[in-house]
Structure 1
């Protein structure tokens, strides 16, 4: 089953998702498993306030 979630809280959304997309101005910037995105330095700096997140 596919469920599409649009959420401002990236950390919360990636904790419950298996896979995610990062959109900016309607374009996909990054895509990957939630673990990959949570540990991506670019995502941490911009969306997770620089916090390192442990693997799900």
Structure 2
């Protein structure tokens, strides 16, 4: 199933695998639980200084 969601953290909590895309390009991919801790996710969607949670 393909899920497209703006709330990245919520989507990653239910996904097994994920591809992080921005302007049509894949920035990173991998296991969803690993991407929750990835700096690319924080910088792309939550701002560089975002806190986890």
TM range (shorter): 0.7 to 0.9
Q: Name stretches of at least 5 consecutive residues in structure 2 with no aligned partner.
A: none
Equivalence for 2:10: 12
1:1-55 Cα shifts (integer Å, max 9, x gaps): xx100000000100000000111111111101011100012212432452335xx
Q: Name stretches of at least 5 consecutive residues in structure 1 with no aligned partner.
A: none
Give, in whole Å, the separation in 2 of the partners of 1:48 and 1:25: 16
TM normalised by structure 1 equals 0.75
Q: Which moved more, 1:40-49 or 1:8-17?
A: 40-49
Number of residue pairs the alignment of both structures matches: 51
Q: Which moved more, 1:21-30 or 1:37-46?
A: 37-46
TM normalised by structure 2 equals 0.78
State the Cα RMSD in Å: 1.5
